[in-house]
Chain A
């Protein structure tokens, strides 16, 4: 609960700091605020309960997920160093909006009331619409922002419609009231089912699960790379945990009904995400489609819905965040060193000869790609293993086979940048700011650490 207050205040502070402090010293302030937020979460540790008249729930597993979110935000800020130095960038506003968006994400993982979920979703989304279009001189960015805004607003509308139906059926916005309709007649349940489907659709749109994924590639490509990383990690984590809370507390008695519908969505996400990514030449689009397939894998733990699923999902979120942020971070450094037609090149061939230009970056890229593909000894392997294990426990074996098959497909496009980085080249060395270098080191080290000893993290949940 405390980080929500911290970030609400620090976001405002950040805005006003931008007026008085020089541009380059804003990032340390941002990191400081985020560390304060991270630390303030300790105050809630071992004090589970409902806060704000039953609007938010705080418990240790929820605090862990909030830590994952804030930690991911810190890593994203870390890779953003030197990115906002040009005259048309307003880093104070970007960081402020990032902190506000984080408030939304924190609310979304701890809500107890559906209205709170709506508020969190809107705080998160509105911030992201702005960040997507923050590079005002990039035509693709403008297009992405308007697309994201329009489609996101429709999805929110659909979600809100579902919430209204939920209220109509149960007479309450509290998430635990979903159980009260269990004994109702079919007529009474119709509204509830309608609400359930619409709430699911609204949230599945936000994590870009197929068939609600059409905005993803364009938005990831158009948004500034730092914010694509923010979108890929924080939004996905926040929304998947919101879905998990709903599935576990509101809709658990309807499991038989929604799991059939969800398992099809998972299959579609895996197939569409992985197969389409093979044909992409733009690295940001590759990561966008990879995020669609990863969303499919994350949803597997909703199918599992066992005692371990929450922890599995937390493990998956963190390992995915580490791998994605390091992939975006390496790409960010290289693409801003490779200017084509006045803009940073986003083609996969920017990785050509990376190993000779900067071996550290090449190794980090290798680790992150292996983790995304799910190769053993990286945390990506264990995260996939755990969620597939969850789904297998419920007897969905065909989705298991599909998941493994699609992981094999994903090897092809995850290995493209690796292959490129070992090509011969006569291009010069790549310089990298020390902050983003250490951020990337941390990502890679944690990916390996959790790959060798996953229980360090998993036993916490």
Chain B
């Protein structure tokens, strides 16, 4: 008799075995003729430039966080829906169950929606590039001078 944890172990072993098997077969069958063009990173046909270690705009993280908020909410909604639609429970309680579970989920979604409203109101959803402001600084050096120098030594 295999226990529940035994099944998990079997799945892990089967998973590792399957990956090794498929990759092994591919290795035996495929021709191996690498060249620099083939080894290059595939980026939708674009040629890659520079490293991937650059700082991303912080706004990506905020949007990702808000996305996660609702993503996790959905994960919880599915099991809730299966319990909510349980006919036996509904009949046992003469419909009180549906009201109770429904209100509970409404509170949950409401609290999350408040989070979105808060982020919205704070302006975290606006994707506006910081505009460059013209300075009022008046330089005594005329602009033409720079232009002349640039043209002379271009």
A, B bound: yes
List of A residues within 8 angstroms of B121 by Cβ? 16, 19
Q: Scan residues 105-125 of chain B and give those whose CB is less than 8 A from a CB of chain A.
A: 111, 114, 118, 121-122
| Size category, B interface | under 10
A-B contact count (CB 8 A): 10
**Total chain A interface residues with beta-carbon distance under 8 A:** 4
Give the CA-CA distance A15 to B115 in the complex, in Å.
10
Q: Check A12 against B122 for contact (C-beta < 8 Å).
A: no
Q: Which residues of A contact B114 (CB under 8 A)?
A: 12, 15-16
B111 pairs with A19, CB closer than 8 A: no
With both beta carbons as reference points, the residue of chain B lying nearest to A19 in the complex is identified as B121
Contacts of B122 in A (CB 8 A): 19
Q: Which residue of chain A has its CB nearest to the CB of B114?
A: A12
Q: Tell me how far the C-beta of B85 lies from the nearest C-beta in chain A, rounded to whole angstroms.
A: 22
Within 8 A of B (CB), among A1-51: 12, 15-16, 19
Q: How does the 8 Å CB contact mask read for B13-50 relative to A, with 1 for contact and 0 for none? A: 00000000000000000000000000000000000000
Docked pose: A235 CA to B111 CA in angstroms: 26
Which B residues between 94 and 114 are near A, CB-CB below 8 angstroms? 111, 114
In the bound complex, CA of A12 to CA of B110 (Å): 11
Residues of B within 8 A of A19 (CB): 118, 121-122
User: How far in angstroms is the closest Cβ of chain B from A215?
Assistant: 26
Contacts of A12 in B (CB 8 A): 111, 114
- A15 partner residues in chain B, CB cutoff 8 A: 114, 118
A82 to B153: give the CA distance in the assembly, Å.
Answer: 59
Q: Nearest chain-A residue to B117 (Cβ)?
A: A16
Which residues of A are found within 8 Å of B111, using beta-carbon distances? 12
Q: How far is the CB of A136 from chain B (nearest CB, A)?
A: 12
Q: Which residue of B lies closest to A8 (CB)?
A: B111
Q: How far is the CA of A283 from the CA of B114 in the complex (A)?
A: 40
Shortest C-beta distance, B92 to chain A (Å), equals: 17
Quote the shortest CB–CB distance from B123 to chain A (angstroms).
Answer: 10
Residues of A within 8 A of B118 (CB): 15-16, 19
In the assembled complex, how far is the CB of residue B65 from the closest CB belonging to chain A, in whole angstroms?
13
How close is A442's CB to chain B, nearest CB, in angstroms? Answer: 34
Given A16-B118, A19-B122; 8 other pairs, CB 8 A cutoff: A12-B111, A12-B114, A15-B114, A15-B118, A16-B114, A16-B121, A19-B118, A19-B121
User: Hey, which bits of chain A sit against chain B, CB under 8 A?
Assistant: 12, 15-16, 19
